[in-house]
Structure 1
Amino acid sequence: MALPSAPRSPGRLVAVQPMRRKRCAACRRGPLSLLVLEDGAPRCLDCADLGHLVFLPRGDTALTRRSREESGLSVVVVRFNRRGSRYERQGVLVEEAALVRAEQRCLADAEARRRRRARDARRRLVEDERFKAAFAAEIRRLFPGCPDGRALAIAGHASVRGSGRVGRSAAGRALSEGAVTSAVVAGVRHADTPYDRLLMSGVPRWEARRRIAPAVESVLLAWREAGEGVG
C-alpha cells in the first residue's frame, strides 16, 4: 500500500511515522518507525542523512520552540490520520545537543517562575497583613469596645484572599462603614450567640437570625457605647 501524499511544509523538512510496515528503498532496512519520502520512495533517517537527530514528541510548546531555535537542522514529524484524512504533527527531530540546551533554558525559566511565585506570595502576605490591620483598626474606630484580639480575628476572617467574604468585596477593600459593620455582625453572630447551634438543629437561617438579632444588637451597642465620652 502506497503512503498518502506527503505533506508539504515550505522551508521545512518532514518525516513520516508510517501506518504500515515499510523498508528503506536504499538500504532495505525495516520496518521503519520514521521515514522520509524522496521522489515517492521511503528512506530511513540514516540514508536521508538525518540519523543523528533525536525525536522530541509534541506537548511542550516552549521546549519544542527552543529546541528548533537551538538546532541547526530540524525535521517536523507527522502521522496520517485516516479519520481526518490529513497528516497530524507528532513532534520534531532536532540535534541532541540542541535539545539539551533547550531543556536547560526551560529549567532556568522554571526556576525563574518559581522565584517569581515566591516573591509574589511574600508580597501578597505583606499586603494581606496590612489590609487586615487596617480593617481591624476601622473596626476599633467604629466599635471602640471591641477587644483588640476580636477585632483582628474578625478582620482576618473577613479578608481572607479568594474567600468571597465582605472584606474582599469592593466596599470591604475601601473599608466602607457598611462592609466593616457587616463583618462585625457576622463575627458576633457566630461567636456570641447560639446561631450555629440553631442552624445545626434544623432552624431555617432566616428564623435563626431573627432569634439571635437582639443578642447581636446588644453586643454591638455595648462595643459602640464603650467609646462615648472618651476624649
Structure 2
Amino acid sequence: MSPHDEPKADDLVVISPAKAFTCSDCGTTEAGLLRLEDDAPHCLECVDLDHLVFLPAGNTALTRRARKASTLSAVVIRWSRARKRYEREGVLVESPALELAEEQCLADEDLRARQRERAREKRAVEDVDFQRRMAGEIVRLFPGCDADRAEAIAEHAGTRSSGRVGRSAAGRALEENAVTLAVVASIRHLDTSYDELLMAGVPRAEARERIRAQVDEVLDQWRRPR
C-alpha cells in the first residue's frame, strides 16, 4: 500500500484472505473476511463487524464521507503476491452511513452539473455577442457584403473551441487581418470552385492559387458600398 492507503494506527483492519480459514472463536470454516486478534483469525460475526457493508476502494469522496458518518468502520486489505505486500481493497461501514454518503455525492454531482450548464449558457451568450460584433466588423470592412452573409460568416468562424480563425487571439480582438481571413475562407468555399478542385485531387496549395483571382474579385466587390 502507498503511505496514503496505509491504515492509521487506530484503524480497525480486516483481511480479505486468499483461501478459506477457520474462525478461532466459533470454529466455522469460511472464505469471507477475517480479523486477526492475538494473531488468530476470527470471522466478522465473532468480532461484531458482520453488520457492516463493504465499500470498494476507488471513490475517495464517497469513502471519506461514509467513514465520517459511520460510528464503526474497518479498512479491508488483501495480500498481493505480485507486489509482496498488503493492499487496500476498500472499507467496511455502516449501511446508513453509506447511504448518506451516496446522497451527498449525488448532490455534489447535481451541483456540478448545474454549474456546467450555467457555464455552457454563459459561453453561448458570449459566443452570440462575439459573433454579433464580428458580423458588424465584417460589414464595416466589406460594406458590399450582405448582412445575412456577414452573420453566417461570423457564426461559422466565431464558434467557441472551433479552432477557426475567428477564435484566435487576433480574431477575438477583431483585428482586420483575422476578420478578412474569415471572409476569404467563406468566399473560397461558397463562391469559387475550390471544393470541387479538392475533390478532384488537386493539391490544396494549387487549388488556392487557381481560385485566387475569383476570391480577389469578390473581395473587391464587397469592399465597395452597395
Q: Quick check: TM above 0.5?
A: yes
Question: What amino acid is aligned across from residue 50 of structure 2 in structure 1?
Answer: G
Pair 1:223-2:219 in alignment: no
Query: 1:134 aligns to what SS in structure 2?
Result: helix
By how many angstroms is 1:149 displaced? 1.1
Contact 1:24/1:32 (8 A) holds in 2: no
Alpha-carbon distance in structure 1 between the residues aligned to 2:66 and 2:204? 60
**What stretches of structure 1 of length at least 5 have no aligned partner?**
1-6
CA distance in 2, matches of 1:153, 1:8: 61
Q: Displacement of 1:8 after TM fit?
A: 6.2
The one-character-per-residue Cα deviations of 1:97-151 (angstroms, maximum 9, x if unpaired) are 1001101101111111111111111111111111111111111110011111111
Name the counterpart of 1:23: 22
| Aligned residue number for residue 89 of structure 1 | 88
2:135 is the alignment partner of 1:136 = yes
- Cα offset, 1:30, TM superposition: 2.6
CA contact (8 A) 2:160 2:167 kept: yes
TM-score after normalising by structure 1: 0.93
Q: Deviations over 1:166-206 (max 9, x none)?
A: 11111111111110000000000000000000010011111
Shift of 1:10: 1.0
Instruction: Find the counterpart in structure 1 of residue 168 from structure 2.
Output: 169
Mapped contact 1:74–1:94 kept (Cα < 8 A): yes
Identity %: 57
Unpaired runs of 5+ residues, structure 2, are: 1-5
Instruction: Normalising by structure 2, report the TM-score.
Output: 0.95
* Whole-angstrom distance in 2 between the partners of 1:164 and 1:185: 16
Residue aligning to 1:99: 98
Give the Cα–Cα distance (whole angstroms) in 2 for the partners of residues 157 and 209 of structure 1.
20
CA contact (8 A) 2:7 2:75 kept: no
C-alpha RMSD of matched pairs (Å): 1.2
Conserved? CA contact 1:36–1:42, under 8 Å = yes
How many equivalent residue pairs?
Answer: 221
Q: Is residue 32–residue 44 contact of structure 1 (8 Å, CA) maintained in 2?
A: no
2:211 counterpart SS class: helix
